[in-house]
Amino acid sequence: MWADFHRPQDLGPILANATSVELVALPFAGIEPYVPLIRQRSDLLWTCARGVYARPVAEHAIALATAGLRHIVGYAQERRWAEPHGRMLVDGSLTVFGGGGITAEIIRLLQGWNCAITVVRRSATPMPGASRTVQPDLAVEAVAGADAVILALALTDETRGSIDSAIFDAMAPHAWLVNVARGGVVDHEALHQALVEGSIGGAALDVTDPEPLPEGHWLWGLQNVVITPHIANTPEMGIPLLAAHIEENVRRWIADQPLAGVVDPVAGY
């Protein structure tokens, strides 16, 4: 798993002894374990892989959404010829939390599906290709009527636990929650209640809290939940993308040009 390489405790001593280092390129899009070190070493220029893995993660998010809406999750657990279920995402409504590369790629991949796509992001700047873009204070309104709600936002102090009971209460009873962001953005107690009561259609989770999800956790036992083990972007998919990203940034660094994926120490991503 990519998560096995998250060892910020090892990086600090290395940087302390590497006095000539000016640039640190983290190979992760989500860098929350490194934020304390980044803020401590603000003398360095830090970059991350923000947006680098957008295409495979966006594809996975759409696959999870359609698997839920098409009842493939339920059919996979059947041992008999079942009754027909399912809804199309084509001509449907989708709400995406986050305004970064993954969201941009989801919008691009869904061109031709005739989806009404609402984006919830920190900035009021319209997201190209989206039907509408709103800020987090309109999040509850934004999920109402959506067939699927995809989470692709960064985990920060502001977003932690922000997908809460108010969001779930506003979602349609058939709607599926898809999380390809971080498990910590979801209030899991509120999610448990929504899933058990059936107030939402289900949850398709590539990330959880805690992670890895331990055996016997309540999420494993629910029929309206599908869990993939943080593999929306595998090493086989991601390494070529990361290599191209680093190569381009090194070229820019040498040419004294702006780098891609520069980390904002204050924002934490």
- By annotation, the residues acting in catalysis are 182, 211, 230
Q: Per-residue DSSP letters for 121-163?
A: -SS-SPPTT-SEEE-GGGHHHHHTT-SEEEE-----TTTTT-B
**In one letter, which amino acid is 47?**
T
Give start and end residues of each alpha helix (H) in the chain. Answer: 8-17, 35-40, 54-69, 72-75, 101-109, 139-143, 165-170, 188-197, 235-254
Q: Which residues pair with 211 in a beta bridge?
A: none
Both tokens of 251, joined, read: 């070229």
**Which residues, other chains included, contact 92 with Cβ-Cβ below 8 Å and sequence gap of 6+?**
69, 113, 115, 116, 147, 148
Q: How many CB atoms lie within 10 A of CB 36?
A: 12
How far is it, in rounded angstroms, from Cα 258 to Cα 247? 14
Q: How many CB atoms lie within 10 A of CB 184?
A: 21
Half-sphere exposure of 54 (CA within 13 A, CB side): 19
- H or E element: which one contains 132? strand 132-134
The dihedral built from the CA positions of residue 136, 212, 109 and 84, taken in this order, carries a sign that is negative
How far is it, in rounded angstroms, from Cα 205 to Cα 182? 9
